[in-house]
Amino acid sequence: MPSLKEIRARINSVASTQKITNAMKMVSAAKLKKAESTTERFMPYKHKLHETLSNYLNTLEETLNIPLCEKRQVKKVVLMAFSSNNGLCGVYNANINKLLKEAYTEYTTQLGKDNVVVYLAGKKVGDYAKRMGITVVKNLLEISAKPTYEDACTLCDLFTKLFLEGSIDKVELIYNHYKNTGVQIPQREVILPLQVAMPDNTNDTSYRDYIVEPSKEEFVNEMVPKVLRTNLFSIMLDAHTAEHGARTTAMHIASDNAEQLSQELRIAYNKARQEVITNELMDIVGGAEALNG
């Protein structure tokens, strides 16, 4: 059985750890609130832009040539995975690593390794890719740390350029979708070629009076890149929010576990102390009886 000194040392160690996990939980909760607020402010813009494009396309009787929506035989694909730069966020990074391995294996089996181009955003998934021997074109650590719309535009314009040149035929993103603080859902989402959802109520004529200049094709092909940028940025924000949600939950669980362990150690300490006192009393009683005898 451990000595009283050893148990006291463990109690102090657990208490110190609990202070750290509580502090990290509070920091992550504050960052989560800020990330949620940013996402909530951005999403109405994204939805309205999508709605405008889909409504307008639904009014057209002819089929427009939209290069970024062109579906073609996939000969070369871009995979991009988003993880965190730091750990202590539960299974957040493990889920991304697992999904990256699944997608990479699937595409390399179909197309060969030379035709699967991998971009990453996050140190943890970068470390995993290195262990797995996956060749990475670039790891954009700054996107994982603090996503910005400018970063989304730069990255999206790169993918768009490669797609229009015919260098790639598909872009698929791997990230964790934020549902709530305790639930983050691993996702695979294709952003190129762009898929424009048609409005549910096709009989509604309230949005059919569109006047565009200089031409329909120019208007649509100007809108599509903007939609792509908002898609990518919303995914970056989603992944960032999910990271802080996962870390908040992980630190909350760690703090609860530390408290439970601390209570168990206190009980063990009290039992050991009581045993020492009992033994000392028995020694005293035994000595007294020996003297009386």
pLDDT at 208: 59
- Residue 247 has what pLDDT? 93
Note the pLDDT of residue 67.
Answer: 87
State the Cα–Cα distance between residues 137 and 203, nearest whole angstrom.
Answer: 47
Which residue has 């160690």 as its token pair?
13
Rounded Cα distance between 34 and 206, Å, is 37
The closest of 143, 146, 114, 176 to 34, measured between CA atoms, is 146
Contact assessment for residue 86 and residue 210, using Cβ atoms and an 8 Å cutoff: no
Q: What's the CA gap between 125 and 135, in Å, rounded?
A: 12
Q: Which two tokens stand for residue 162?
A: 């490669």
Distance, in Å, from the CA atom of 209 to the CA atom of 195, rounded to the nearest integer, reads: 23
CA dist list (Å): 148 to 2, 73, 119, 161, 171: 53, 32, 17, 20, 20
φ, ψ of residue 158 in degrees (nearest 5): -65, -50
Per-residue confidence (pLDDT) for residue 120, from 0 to 100: 95
User: Which uninterrupted H or E stretch holds 119?
Assistant: strand 116-121
Token representation of residue 285: 């009683």
Q: How far apart are CA 91 and CA 247, in angstroms?
A: 10
Query: What is the DSSP code (8-state) at residue 193?
Result: S
Q: What is the pLDDT of residues 179-190, one digit of tens each?
A: 998 899 999 999
Q: CB–CB of 85/119 below 8 Å?
A: no
> Rounded CA gap, 141 and 84, in Å?
9
- Give the chain's radius of gyration (CA, Å): 29
pTM: 0.86
Q: Which of 249, 268, 277, 273 is nearest to 14 (CA)?
A: 268
Instruction: Say how far apart CA 81 and CA 139 lie, in whole Å.
Output: 9
pLDDT in tens, 23-74: 999 999 999 999 999 999 999 999 989 888 888 888 777 777 888 888 889 9
H/E segment holding residue 48: helix 4-59
Instruction: Output the tens digit of pLDDT for each of the chain's 293 residues.
Output: 677 888 888 889 999 999 999 999 999 999 999 999 999 999 999 998 988 888 888 877 777 788 888 888 999 999 999 999 998 898 999 999 999 999 999 999 999 999 999 999 999 999 999 999 999 999 999 998 899 999 999 999 999 999 999 999 999 999 999 999 889 999 999 999 988 766 555 555 555 567 777 777 788 888 899 999 999 999 999 999 999 999 999 999 999 999 999 898 888 888 888 887 887 777 777 776 777 75
Q: Domains plus CATH for the chain?
A: 64-246 (3.40.1380.10)
- CA nearest to 230, candidates 11, 39, 31: 39
